[in-house]
Amino acid sequence: MVVVEARGLGLRTRRGWVFRDVDLTAAAGELHAVTGPPGSGRTSLLLALAGRFPTSEGRLTRHGPAALGQVAGVHEPDPALTVAEHVRERLLLLGPVPRRRRQLVPVAALRARRAYRRDAFAAAIAGAGFTGEVPFDPDTRGRDLTPLERQVLGLVLATLGGPQLIVADDVDAGCDAPERARLWATLARLADQGYAVVASARAVEADSPAIVHRLGDPPAAPSPPDEAAAGAPEASARPTEEAAGLSDEAAGLSDEAAGSSDEAAGSSEAARPPAAGPGDETDPTETVEVAR
| Tens digit of pLDDT at every position of the chain (292 positions) | 899 999 999 999 998 999 999 999 999 999 999 999 888 899 999 999 999 999 999 999 999 899 999 999 999 999 999 998 998 888 888 766 555 545 543 454 445 445 555 677 777 777 777 766 778 888 999 999 999 999 999 999 998 888 899 999 999 999 999 999 999 999 999 999 999 999 999 989 888 999 999 997 555 555 555 544 444 444 343 444 444 454 454 445 445 444 444 444 444 443 344 444 434 333 333 322 223 2
Cα Rg, the chain, nearest whole Å: 37
Task: Give φ, ψ of 7 to 5 degrees.
Answer: -130, 115
CA 161, CA 164: separation in Å to the nearest integer? 9
Residue 235 CA neighbour count, 13 Å, CB half: 6
Provide the H-helix boundaries in 50-176.
Answer: 83-94, 99-102, 106-118, 120-127, 147-159
CA distances from 108 to 8, 104, 254 (A): 54, 6, 119
DSSP 228-286: HHHHHHHHHHHHHHHHHHHHHHHHHHHHHHHHHHHHHH-HHHHTSPPPPPHHHHS-HHH
Residue 204 burial (C-beta neighbours within 10 Å; 0-12, 13-18, 19+): buried
**DSSP secondary-structure letter at 224?**
P
CA 27, CA 211: separation in Å to the nearest integer? 11
Name the strand (E) or helix (H) holding 187. Answer: helix 177-192
- Give the three-class secondary structure for 75: strand
Residue 48 CA neighbour count, 13 Å, CB half: 28
